[in-house]
Amino acid sequence: MDLIEKATVMHYHRHRIAEFQHGTVESLGWRNAHSQQARYRTLIKAGVLNGASVLDVGCGYGDLKAFLDQHFSGFDYIGIDQMPEFIAEARKRYEGIERTTFYQTDFSTAALLQVDYVFASGVLGYRCKNNGFYTAMIGKLYNSARIALAFNMLDKSRFPQHDLLIGHDQEEILTLCRVLSPRVECFDGYLEDDFTVLMYRNSISG
């Protein structure tokens, strides 16, 4: 993404903060808490995270951390987001919580840490003139994961036209992912216009 596109994304979220209040799921761009939680329930199909290290790309306020705490224990959580407002709130919410760290950074340009699992919820849904951006970012995120990458995208066949957000062709994305990964799983139907892809390093289930 170029600087103008990144600035447009930040403006979009600041407008939503003004409209829906700071700290809400709506200010992150989700329709409501139900849609956010539906995405999270699908992402964690990637594996059992007890004792694992997790990178949450586009972490917002760290809502995924709270969700993971309901299902797993003993994991290291790292959240990154380019929005200073989101990171400031996340640090405030999780102040003093062990094995939990937040960084303000742009995942598309930053050097990403090697972790067991990488989660990316929503970050590949912003419009970009460079079509190769999505391919490059999926590869980058996958390369950061020792066990699996789990990400979601808006479904081009169902998502309406939008000035900032963009849907993707599910089959095209899966074709790309299968070139990179020996085992790829895809889930849809949990929301009307969304799909989730799991990319594993190992071809063997479990």
**pLDDT tens column, 164-190:** 788 999 999 999 999 999 999 999 999
126 assigned to some structural domain? yes
Confidence at residue 205, expressed as pLDDT on a 0 to 100 scale? 65
Instruction: Look at 45 and 159; give whichever has higher pLDDT.
Output: 45
Q: How far apart are the first and last CA of the chain?
A: 36
**pLDDT tens column, 115-127:** 999 999 999 988 8
Mean pLDDT confidence for 85-97? 95
Report the run of H or E that residue 179 belongs to, with start and end: helix 170-180
Task: Provide the pLDDT confidence category of residue 11 given band limits of 50, 70 and 90.
Answer: low
Task: Provide the pLDDT confidence category of residue 30 given band limits of 50, 70 and 90.
Answer: low
Mean pLDDT confidence for 9-19? 70
27 assigned to some structural domain? no
**pLDDT tens column, 105-118:** 999 999 999 999 99
Task: Provide the pLDDT confidence category of residue 13 given band limits of 50, 70 and 90.
Answer: low
Mean of pLDDT over the chain: 90
26 assigned to some structural domain? no
Q: What is the pTM of this model?
A: 0.91
Instruction: Look at 82 and 4; give whichever has higher pLDDT.
Output: 82
Confidence at residue 204, expressed as pLDDT on a 0 to 100 scale? 74
Give the Å distances, CA to CA, from 165 to 83, 90, 123, 205.
Answer: 17, 24, 10, 33
181 assigned to some structural domain? yes
Concatenated DSSP letters of 21-80? -TT-TGGGT-S-HHHHHHHHHHHGGG---TT-EEEEET-TTTHHHHHHHTT--S-EEEEE
25 assigned to some structural domain? no
Confidence at residue 62, expressed as pLDDT on a 0 to 100 scale? 96
Confidence at residue 16, expressed as pLDDT on a 0 to 100 scale? 72
Handedness of CA 157, 3, 43, 68 (dihedral sign): negative
Instruction: Look at 110 and 9; give whichever has higher pLDDT.
Output: 110
Report the run of H or E that residue 100 belongs to, with start and end: strand 100-104
CATH classification of the domain holding 52: 3.40.50.150
Confidence at residue 206, expressed as pLDDT on a 0 to 100 scale? 53
Task: Please say whether the beta carbons of 47 and 199 come within 8 A.
Answer: no
Domain tally, the chain? 1
119 assigned to some structural domain? yes
CA distance 36 to 12: 18
Give the Å distances, CA to CA, from 32 to 25, 90, 133.
Answer: 6, 19, 28
Residue 119 token pair: 């989660």
Query: Residue holding tokens 């102040």?
Result: 95
Confidence at residue 82, expressed as pLDDT on a 0 to 100 scale? 92
Whether the pLDDT of residue 56 is over 80: the answer is yes
184 assigned to some structural domain? yes
Range of the domain at 51: 33-200
